[in-house]
């Protein structure tokens, strides 16, 4: 059995993975809060998609890959199958998106939260073990069934709590605290699943196929940066509840305000009535002598 090191670079990789999970959870909770206040199905779909990318793509999948940077097996190099790695991303985002769709439509209930959490948690666990299956090394992977089951339970509980927080938390400090808790849950699920892994090296070392960590690191980091910047821009550009309330107040004032007819200026010499003929050649300019005198009393 090979020796496994989960923290090859010390505290750097777990600290960065926790920071990513907290950042993604915070942005995802803010976006999910807009789902309940959206005025149409298009807006709900848009905010649900952004929340799924924030939580599933950044808080879960990017955190998983960052933690994997510190994973090493003595005696063999590690490479990753790119299609399976991409598939794990799709699984994470889709699972979170479907979970948000379950709890974000209609009236919120405990049955919806539990059902959405169960589906999302299983999806998150599937993402994790799909990402592990994408590893290519000179050895066979084996898992302890008890710890695998524990990691799935943690994923389901974390997903259920995350969906409940996404639909109920509104204030900034509460969202920040919830993101910190979600970061602990996501990292706890990941490292519990990693602790179930053991590697049995092959006697003969073959050529490894796939992409190295350094090859995948740059595009993944750029993708995370673009997603985070896009989410921040979308949140800053979208009108808040206060903005909508102010717009509704101004519209109500405009509707209820009385229409004031403009006062007509005096026209003692009849310029207004003769405006169409003044431009014609030869038309005499009116004077006060053309105005009939007032009747005598």
Q: What total of structural domains would you count in the chain?
A: 1
Q: pLDDT tens for residues 148-169?
A: 999 999 999 988 988 888 888 8
Tell me the whole-structure pTM to 2 decimals.
0.75
Bridge partners, 136 (sequence order): 79
Evaluate whether 286 touches 274 at the Cβ level (below 8 Å): yes
SS3 283: coil
Q: pLDDT tens for residues 109-130?
A: 888 889 999 999 999 999 999 9
Euclidean distance between CA atoms 95 and 59, whole angstroms: 13
Q: Are strands 72-73 and 4-5 parallel, antiparallel or unpaired?
A: antiparallel
Residue 267 within a domain:
no
Rounded to an integer, the average pLDDT of 259-287 is: 57
User: 108: which residues sit within 8 A by CB, 6+ positions away?
Assistant: 167, 168
Q: pLDDT tens for residues 208-230?
A: 777 777 777 788 788 888 888 88
Residue 169 within a domain:
yes
Residue 272 within a domain:
no
- Is residue 92's pLDDT more than 80? yes
* Other Cβ atoms closer than 10 A to 179: 24
Bridge partners, 199 (sequence order): 141
Euclidean distance between CA atoms 272 and 291, whole angstroms: 13
Residue 279 within a domain:
no
Residue 269 within a domain:
no
Residue 266 within a domain:
no
Strand ranges, E, within 65-221:
72-73, 79-80, 135-136, 139-143, 197-201
* Other Cβ atoms closer than 10 A to 47: 24
Residue 232 within a domain:
yes
Evaluate whether 47 touches 35 at the Cβ level (below 8 Å): yes
> Quick one: pLDDT at residue 104?
78
* Other Cβ atoms closer than 10 A to 144: 12
> Quick one: pLDDT at residue 77?
86
Among 44-58, 187-201, 234-248, the range scoring the smallest mean pLDDT is 234-248
Q: pLDDT tens for residues 47-79?
A: 888 989 999 888 999 998 888 888 888 888 888
Residue 263 within a domain:
no
Evaluate whether 225 touches 23 at the Cβ level (below 8 Å): no
Domain containing 189: what range?
A: 4-201+208-249
Q: Is residue 286 packed enough to be buried (19+ CB in 10 Å), middle (13-18) or exposed (0-12)?
A: middle
Q: pLDDT tens for residues 163-196?
A: 888 888 877 788 888 888 888 888 999 999 898 9
Task: Name the token pair of 252.
Answer: 């109500």
- Is residue 288's pLDDT more than 60? no
More confident: 26 or 258: 26
* Other Cβ atoms closer than 10 A to 21: 28
More confident: 287 or 85: 85
Among 66-70, 78-82, 144-148, 239-243, the range scoring the smallest mean pLDDT is 239-243
Question: Residue holding tokens 């084996």?
Answer: 142
Average pLDDT over the chain, rounded to whole? Answer: 81
> Quick one: pLDDT at residue 278?
52
Cα–Cα distance list, 154 to 150, 182, 185, 193, 260 (Å): 6, 11, 7, 10, 67
212 sits in the region (left: phi over 0; alpha: psi -120 to 50; else beta) called beta
Evaluate whether 29 touches 178 at the Cβ level (below 8 Å): yes
């Amino acid at each position: 059995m090979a020796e496994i090191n989960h923290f090859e670079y010390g505290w750097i990789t777990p600290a960065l993975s926790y920071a990513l999970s907290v950042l993604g959870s915070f942005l995802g909770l803010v976006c999910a809060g807009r789902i309940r206040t959206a005025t149409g199905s298009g807006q709900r779909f848009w905010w649900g998609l952004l929340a799924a990318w924030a939580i599933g793509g950044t808080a879960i999948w990017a955190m998983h890959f960052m933690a994997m940077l510190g994973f090493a097996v003595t005696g063999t190099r590690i490479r990753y199958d790119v299609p399976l790695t991409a598939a794990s991303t799709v699984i994470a985002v889709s699972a979170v998106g479907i979970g948000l769709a379950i709890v974000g439509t209609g009236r919120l209930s405990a049955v919806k939260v539990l059902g959405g959490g169960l589906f999302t948690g299983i999806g998150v666990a599937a993402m994790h073990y799909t990402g592990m299956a994408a590893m290519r090394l000179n050895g066979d992977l084996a898992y302890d069934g008890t710890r695998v089951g524990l990691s799935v339970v943690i994923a389901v509980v974390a997903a259920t709590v995350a969906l409940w927080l996404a639909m109920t938390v509104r204030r900034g400090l509460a969202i920040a605290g919830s993101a910190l808790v979600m970061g602990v849950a996501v990292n706890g699920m990941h490292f519990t699943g990693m602790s179930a892994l053991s590697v049995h090296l092959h006697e003969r070392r073959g050529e490894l196929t796939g992409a190295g960590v350094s090859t995948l690191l740059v595009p993944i980091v750029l993708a995370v940066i673009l997603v985070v910047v896009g989410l921040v821009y979308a949140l800053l550009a979208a009108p808040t509840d206060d903005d909508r309330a102010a717009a509704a107040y101004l519209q109500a004032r405009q509707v209820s305000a009385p229409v004031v007819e403009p006062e007509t200026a005096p026209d003692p010499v009849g310029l207004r009535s003769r405006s169409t003929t003044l431009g014609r050649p030869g038309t005499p300019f009116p004077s006060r002598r053309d105005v009939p005198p007032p009747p005598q009393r």
